[in-house]
């Protein structure tokens, strides 16, 4: 088999590298030494004018799978290393360790659990980091990806303002399916629990700590977080037909967990006395573009999310279940609710940002509905909002435990 170098546009051609030789013997001037996590295969880093790259040597089939899965996940919401190229035919035997190589874009400004745990530790970000790890696995599973090797060293972290983004870097064991069964998800969790225990034991050993004192149950903690998150994102909620404000609560809880809601389905139950609420979890940061498509308006992501929850609420109120009914309801919502109310708000004195005022009004409507235990209309909420001196809820956060309690927002 002859050498084949497949490179995606925008990257160097990597023709300067001696692909026929094993990575450990390379001494090319572009190679750089950088810290890396535990790895099964040889990994080297190379610097080019186009950027930094990680090069991993592995058997052909594993390399192909790694490359294909990372490519496929690019259209999902899961953050992964970006595949840049696949090199095959480095050795006549495709099963040989040296037969192929995968090139990924180096994830800059990232760090691994290993670096963190052997350095400063989690500190007060422990919950955030573990939630992020669990969240990555949930996102992968929602995207139909069975990882097969979720471990501390196959994830990198990057700080993004207040949040931390987990990034999947090693997909050579992953499989993509239309949908994963509960058994497959559980199997992936089992693998993760074992891998994490192994990773923690390694860290303890490298620090001279007795294995008995290592936190070998960390993976179980992550699994518990995963299960809670999965449940919140996928469970069906049953509500009374006059309790549609609880849809808002549900959306808010999902948003608080860092996920966006793509669609809400409301299915009548018990002869219409109850509704079953099904939430379809969408990507991150898609609200502002969706709002722009619908209304032509530019809003901040947080505002757009709140305004679109109003659309979902409206669709719920009007029993829009089919895709067509939802589209019709979206147009009606814009013409009969959103635009007239935005215009009323724009006409008020001292309104700097009418979209923010709209969000404040929506939040006010929500609080009043909770207080009454039943839906109140937007007009009634508007009068009450004016009467109370247009309370400003900018920056409010409703924690999962505070939801549903009158005045929970602050
Ligand atoms: N794109 C990348 N950016 C930054 N570091 C990377 C990248 N790819 C791999 N690494 C580093 O190399 C290590 C091993 O990579 P990985 O893909 O997990 O290989 P293996 O299959 O050998 O486990 C990772 O823990 C990480 O530190
Ligand atoms: Mg790995």
pLDDT at 147 over 70: yes
> According to the model, what pLDDT value does residue 351 have?
83
User: Which of 58, 62, 169, 203 is the best mutation target for the ligand 1 pocket, counting ligand atoms within 8 Å of the beta carbon and taking the most?
Assistant: 169
Give me the pLDDT at residue 298, please: 77
CA 297–ligand 1 middle distance (angstroms): 42
Q: What values do phi and psi take at 125, rounded to 5?
A: -100, 10
Ligand nearest to the CA of 105: 1
For residue 327, give the DSSP letter. H
CA of 40 to the centre of ligand 2 (A): 6
Q: Is the pLDDT of residue 398 over 90?
A: no
pLDDT exceeds cutoff 80 at 180: yes
Write the residue with the smallest CA distance to atom 9 of ligand 1.
54
What would the pLDDT profile of 351-384 be if each residue is shown by its tens digit?
Answer: 878 888 999 999 999 999 999 998 888 999 999 9
Cβ-proximal residues to 108 (8 Å cutoff; 6+ apart), any chain = 52
Taking residues 284-304, report their average pLDDT: 74
Nearest-atom index, ligand 1, CA of 107: 3
* Residue 106 Cβ < 6 Å to ligand 1: yes
CB atoms within 10 A of CB 177: 12
Q: Is any atom of ligand 1 closer than 6 Å to the C-beta of 289?
A: no
Average pLDDT over residues 225-241: 88
Q: In the predicted model, is pLDDT for residue 399 greater than 60? A: no
* For range 219-235, the mean pLDDT: 92
Give the integer Cα–Cα distance in Å for 362 and 393. Answer: 10
Nearest to residue 152, comparing CAs of 175, 132, 172, 138?
132
Residue nearest to atom 20 of ligand 1 (CA): 39
Predicted confidence at residue 400, as pLDDT, reads: 26
Predicted pLDDT of residue 284: 53
Q: How confident is the model at residue 157 (pLDDT cuts 50, 70, 90)?
A: confident
19 lines ligand 1 (CB under 6 A): no
Structural domains present in the chain? 4-108 (3.30.200), 111-231 (1.10.510.10), 235-387 (no CATH)
For ligand 1, pick from 38, 59, 100, 153 the residue to mutate: most ligand atoms within 8 Å of CB.
153
pLDDT band at 73 (very low <50, low <70, confident <90, very high): very high
Note the pLDDT of residue 283.
55
- The rounded distance, in Å, linking the Cα atoms of 55 and 206 is 26
Which has the closest alpha carbon to 150: 165, 164, 169, 132? 169
Measured CA angle at 236 (ends 256, 305), to 5 deg:
35
Q: Flag whether the pTM goes above 0.75.
A: no
- pLDDT tens column, 297-331: 877 767 888 888 888 888 888 888 787 888 888 88
How high is the pLDDT of residue 394? 61
The mean predicted confidence, pLDDT, of the chain is 86
* Other Cβ atoms within 10 Å of 373 Cβ, number: 11
Is 67 in contact with 87 (CB distance < 8 Å)? no
User: What is the mean predicted confidence (pLDDT) over 69-79?
Assistant: 89
Q: What is the pLDDT of residues 102-145, one digit of tens each?
A: 999 999 888 888 777 777 677 777 887 888 899 899 989 999 99
**pLDDT at residue 182 is higher than 70:** yes
Element (H, E) at 239: strand 237-240
- Whether 190 has a pLDDT exceeding 50, the answer reads yes
- In this prediction, what percent of the chain has a pLDDT beyond 90? 49
């Amino acid at each position: 088999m002859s050498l084949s170098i497949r490179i995606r546009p925008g990257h160097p051609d990597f023709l300067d590298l001696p692909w026929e030789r094993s990575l450990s013997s390379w001494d090319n001037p572009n190679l750089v030494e950088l810290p890396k996590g535990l790895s099964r295969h040889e990994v080297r880093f190379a610097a080019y004018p186009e950027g930094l790259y990680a090069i991993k040597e592995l058997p052909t089939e594993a390399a192909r799978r790694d490359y294909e899965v990372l490519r496929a996940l690019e259209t999902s919401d899961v953050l992964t290393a970006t595949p840049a190229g696949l090199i095959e035919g480095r050795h006549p035997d495709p099963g040989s360790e040296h037969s192929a190589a995968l090139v990924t874009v180096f994830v800059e400004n990232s760090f691994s659990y290993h670096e963190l745990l052997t350095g400063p530790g989690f500190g007060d970000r422990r919950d955030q980091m573990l939630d992020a790890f669990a969240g990555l696995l949930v996102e992968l599973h929602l995207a139909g990806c069975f990882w097969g090797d979720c471990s501390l060293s196959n994830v990198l972290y990057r700080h993004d303002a207040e949040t931390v983004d987990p990034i999947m870097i090693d997909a050579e064991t992953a499989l993509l399916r239309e949908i994963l069964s509960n058994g497959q998800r559980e199997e992936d969790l089992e693998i993760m629990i074992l891998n994490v225990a192994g990773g923690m034991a390694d860290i303890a050993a490298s620090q001279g700590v007795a294995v008995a004192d290592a936190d070998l149950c960390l993976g179980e903690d992550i699994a518990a977080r995963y299960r809670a998150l999965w449940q919140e994102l996928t469970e069906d909620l049953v509500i009374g037909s006059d309790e549609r404000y609880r849809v808002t609560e549900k959306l808010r809880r999902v948003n608080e967990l860092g996920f966006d809601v793509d669609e809400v389905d409301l299915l009548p139950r018990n002869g219409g006395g109850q509704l079953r609420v099904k939430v379809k979890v969408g990507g991150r940061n898609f609200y502002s573009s969706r709002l722009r498509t619908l209304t032509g308006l530019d809003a901040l992501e947080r505002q757009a999310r709140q305004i679109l929850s109003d659309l979902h609420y409206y669709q719920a109120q009007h029993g829009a279940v089919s895709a067509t009914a939802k589209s019709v309801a979206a147009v009606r919502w814009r013409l009969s609710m959103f635009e007239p109310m935005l215009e009323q708000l724009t006409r008020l004195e001292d309104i700097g940002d009418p979209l923010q005022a709209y969000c404040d009004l929506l939040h006010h409507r929500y609080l009043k509905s909770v207080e009454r235990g039943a839906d109140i209309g937007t007009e009634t909420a508007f009068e009450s909002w004016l009467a109370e001196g247009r309370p400003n809820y900018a920056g409010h956060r409703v924690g999962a435990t505070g939801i549903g309690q009158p005045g929970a927002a602050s």
